Structure 1
């Protein structure tokens, strides 16, 4: 099929998790024989930090304004077999209205931030999605599964809310031989609601165990954070360097945003990437995590610094390696980009079929 995606970013992974998600998914989707055009708003912060200007698996085009999008790309959107509008797209409400009006095929919404989106809607914040648009999206592809899908259908009128979790490119993310630089690492952009958990599960263990080594990698952390001396800071680690980053970590930490904890069933891409690299994960706790990993065997769940330090200091090496391998096996069996691309194809086929049946009844 010919698919057009209007997404936040494919060209730059700086400060967002969308780019790596789109890259893994679309590479695998193209490998299934489909053609993809990705349309991205050209903004300075991504222009200054582009790490994939010319993807080899899809066509990437930038547009400078909403008006340019409408005038230059209307034909492509109209002729596409399916169109996807992503979350956090600049002028997303207007982009969505235009896509729904222009496209002949079904238009889907791909929400990589579902709990944040729903919290915004509840507060009357329509930054990139308006409730009146949801029934017009023939599929609502959600990073969050579980009860949220029923809520999207019953409360907001989505014709078909379907889980489409993030995934991992198993060719790009794999174990690498490397010396361990850190006992515990964290890879993620600064978020105010994640910071208390990061403090509790990484910075406090670092304060209590100065003999251990830690690392926090990611942009936008405030200058006034008091980093312990044994916590190394990296401003940005590009996707190509993620496997090496995980390989240098005895354990890595997963921290989840508050809205996603409340919704549950909202796994971060770092879970899949770290597991694919055979780096054992220590995670905060939320509903649905046990459907992805078996606690105690494939992942460590921690409420506070005591559990973290007990894991870092009390786990024998065979047990650490065994947990990492078990998690990797689980991810490769069900959560690679190839699995997710097949799911996307099925969801879009479902939407195309539904659209064709509606036309037959007119």
Structure 2
């Protein structure tokens, strides 16, 4: 199948946490024989902060973040068998969604791929004229990267014909154990961009444990934290390129995952960080959310904390040997059950089902 995919960026993870998800899913689909073109705008300085050059397994098109640039790439949608508009492109999102539906071949599948479904659904509840809400009757399906039954039911309630969760996963070629790097040595590492709907949870699950364990060292990576007041034992190191993610995960005694508010509320939404850390064999501590046992077994493959006090208690008693055992078990689990190769099989099955429905119709 020829797939036209309109997203935020596949070349840059700069202020773009979806990049590794796109790379993992689309490379696995390319390996299964699909021909993919990824369209991304030249916006938000992402092209000045590329993590990768255009990969050989898809065609990369970077267009000017202008109306003319948008028109130039929308015109190509008509030549695809499957047309995908991802959420959160950040430039002309409404026009992109309306445009791909207008330009897509009438025989093509049209899919909205939502990498932040809980937040999108909240917006749709508040806004009856939300562009996704208006587009659902014309879309063949919604794919999401998390959310489980609550998100599926909510999207169906808004009129989606089909909603298919395609969860985050591991790309073992990209994320795997590597030697430690001294600059990432600490007791607890946390890697995430600063976002309004996660900050209160970061304060609780990361900064509060730092205050409770003043003799321990905490390392904070990601954009946006430079003007945040931090405890003396927390070091903010700014943006960490994807080339250093494995070392960032492998070096600390443990690493932390903190869900955004909406994802924590809905559950069934493991961030890419969960699988990147597990793929590196890291001992992961995560805030509690419903459905985690679908991906990692609490107490054996991941450590789960209800609040910052739990994080501090876990860290205070966590011996290096146990941390390594948990990390090894997590790596075994994700390699067996949660790779993008396996997710691509699910995507292809969904494509086949959608095509079968169209044929019957």
Q: For 2:186 and 2:158, locate their aligned partners in 1 and report how far apart those are by CA, in whole Å.
A: 45
- RMSD across aligned positions (CA): 1.8
Aligned to 2:305: 302
Q: SS at 2:188's partner residue?
A: strand
Aligned to 1:139: 141
Aligned to 2:39: 39
CA contact (8 A) 2:209 2:308 kept: yes
Aligned to 1:211: 215
Q: SS at 1:48's partner residue?
A: helix
CA contact (8 A) 1:120 1:126 kept: no
Q: For 2:28 and 2:16, locate their aligned partners in 1 and report how far apart those are by CA, in whole Å.
A: 21
Aligned to 1:173: 175
CA contact (8 A) 1:135 1:156 kept: no
Aligned to 1:289: 292
Instruction: Please report how far the alpha carbon of residue 106 of structure 1 lies from its aligned counterpart in structure 2 after TM superposition.
Output: 0.8
Instruction: Please report how far the alpha carbon of residue 100 of structure 1 lies from its aligned counterpart in structure 2 after TM superposition.
Output: 1.5
CA contact (8 A) 2:170 2:338 kept: yes
Change beyond 3 A, Cα 1:126–1:43? farther
Q: For 1:184 and 1:39, locate their aligned partners in 2 and report how far apart those are by CA, in whole Å.
A: 37
Instruction: Please report how far the alpha carbon of residue 168 of structure 1 lies from its aligned counterpart in structure 2 after TM superposition.
Output: 1.9
Could you tell which deviates more after superposition, 250-259 or 51-60?
51-60
Does residue 121 of the first structure (1) align with residue 120 of the second (2)?
no
Q: SS at 2:301's partner residue?
A: coil
Aligned to 2:50: 50
Gap runs ≥5 in structure 1: none
Could you tell which deviates more after superposition, 5-14 or 203-212?
203-212
Could you tell which deviates more after superposition, 17-26 or 45-54?
45-54
Correspondence list, 1:344-355, <5 A: 344-355=347-358
Q: For 1:195 and 1:125, locate their aligned partners in 2 and report how far apart those are by CA, in whole Å.
A: 28
Does residue 160 of the first structure (1) align with residue 143 of the second (2)?
no
Residue deviations 1:90-127 (CA, integer Å, cap 9, x gap) = 22222122212221201101000000101111121867
Q: For 1:327 and 1:110, locate their aligned partners in 2 and report how far apart those are by CA, in whole Å.
A: 27
Q: For 2:45 and 2:341, locate their aligned partners in 1 and report how far apart those are by CA, in whole Å.
A: 30
Provide the TM-score with structure 1 as the length reference.
0.93
Aligned to 1:201: 205
Q: For 2:73 and 2:302, locate their aligned partners in 1 and report how far apart those are by CA, in whole Å.
A: 48
Correspondence list, 1:1-362, <5 A: 1-64=1-64, 65-74=66-75, 76-89=76-89, 90-104=91-105, 105-124=108-127, 129-143=131-145, 144-153=147-156, 155-178=157-180, 181-221=185-225, 223=227, 225-358=228-361
Count how many residue pairs are aligned between Structure 1 and Structure 2: 354
Q: SS at 1:173's partner residue?
A: coil
Q: For 2:276 and 2:352, locate their aligned partners in 1 and report how far apart those are by CA, in whole Å.
A: 28
Instruction: Please report how far the alpha carbon of residue 59 of structure 1 lies from its aligned counterpart in structure 2 after TM superposition.
Output: 0.6
Change beyond 3 A, Cα 1:32–1:211? same
Gap runs ≥5 in structure 2: none
Q: For 2:233 and 2:341, locate their aligned partners in 1 and report how far apart those are by CA, in whole Å.
A: 39
Provide the TM-score with structure 2 as the length reference.
0.93
Change beyond 3 A, Cα 1:200–1:25? same
